[in-house]
């Protein structure tokens, strides 16, 4: 593992992880007890996730135990996969903080609905546009 670099010296469009050496870990969330996780879990399974974590909590709730378990499982070279961006973050700033934290750990991020994949230069560019708009 390489030591963390100064953010100014990092190529912002470089894919992270540079080489996918790990697996896909999925995270799904529904906001209310009446909603079902079935479609999200199916999409994550089809995407090749080796493990899927799911919360039944409002996105406003910062105590999402299953998300924290997913973060604990993820290792350098892995990729966190979500069905859509709104399942992960409570706001654009929250999303940026989460994905930036994953990047610093050498972990990729993919959102299936938006076809956003930070393991590719194009995905990094799109994510930086989101960050700039925030």
As annotated, the active-site residues are 31
pTM higher than 0.85: no
Of 11, 9, 47, nearest to 28 (Cα)?
47
| Alpha-carbon gap, residue 52 to 26, rounded angstroms | 4
Give the per-residue pLDDT at 20.
58
> Considering just the CA atoms, what is the radius of gyration of the chain in Å?
14
Torsion angle, alpha carbons of 58, 28, 85, 76, to 10: 120
pLDDT along the chain (134 residues), means of 10: 50 59 92 87 97 84 87 95 91 89 94 92 85 72
Give the per-residue pLDDT at 3.
47
Give the per-residue pLDDT at 134.
60
Give the per-residue pLDDT at 36.
87
Give the per-residue pLDDT at 60.
65
| Alpha-carbon gap, residue 14 to 17, rounded angstroms | 9
Is 17 in contact with 76 (CB distance < 8 Å)?
yes
Give the per-residue pLDDT at 2.
47
């Amino acid at each position: 593992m390489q030591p963390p670099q100064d953010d100014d010296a990092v190529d912002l469009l470089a894919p992270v992880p540079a080489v996918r050496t790990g697996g896909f870990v999925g995270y799904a969330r529904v906001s209310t007890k009446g909603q079902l996780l079935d479609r999200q879990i199916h999409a994550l399974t089809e995407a090749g996730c080796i493990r899927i974590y799911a919360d039944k909590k409002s996105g406003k709730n910062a105590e999402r135990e299953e998300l924290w378990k997913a973060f604990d499982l993820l290792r350098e070279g892995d990729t966190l996969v979500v069905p859509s961006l709104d399942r992960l973050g409570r706001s654009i700033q929250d999303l940026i903080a989460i994905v930036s934290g994953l990047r610093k750990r050498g972990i990729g991020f993919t959102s299936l609905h938006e076809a956003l994949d930070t393991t590719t230069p194009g995905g990094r560019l799109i994510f930086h546009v989101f960050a700039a708009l925030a």
